[in-house]
Amino acid sequence: MDKELLASKLATIERCCKRARDEYGKDPTTFVGDITRQDAATLNVLRAWEALVEMGDHVLANLDLGLARDERQVVALLAEQGWIEPAIAEDLQRTGEFCRAEWDLQAAPLPALVTIVKRGLDDLEVVAGSLVARAGAGEG
pLDDT in tens, 22-78: 999 999 999 999 999 999 999 999 999 999 999 999 999 999 988 899 999 999 999
Number of H helices, E strands in the chain: 7, 0
Report the phi/psi class of residue 64: left, alpha or beta, with left for phi > 0 and alpha for psi in -120 to 50.
left
- Number of domains the chain is built from: 1
By the 8 A CB rule, do 78 and 89 touch? Answer: yes
Residues with Cβ within 8 Å of 3's Cβ and at least 6 positions away in sequence, in order, are: 132, 135, 136
pTM of the model: 0.91
pLDDT mean over 125-129: 95
Which amino acid is residue 66, in one-letter code?
A: G
Is 33 strand, coil or helix?
A: coil
Please say if the pLDDT value at position 140 is more than 60: no
* Distance between CA atoms of residues 23 and 27, nearest Å: 8
Q: What is the pLDDT of residue 34?
A: 95
Tallying the residues shown for the chain, one arrives at 140
Give the structural domain span for 71. 3-136
* Distance between CA atoms of residues 31 and 117, nearest Å: 12
What CATH number did the domain enclosing 53 receive? 1.20.120
Q: What are phi and psi of 54, to 5 degrees?
A: -65, -40
The model's pLDDT over 83-117, given as tens digits with 9 standing for 90+, comes to: 999 999 999 999 998 888 876 666 678 899 999 99
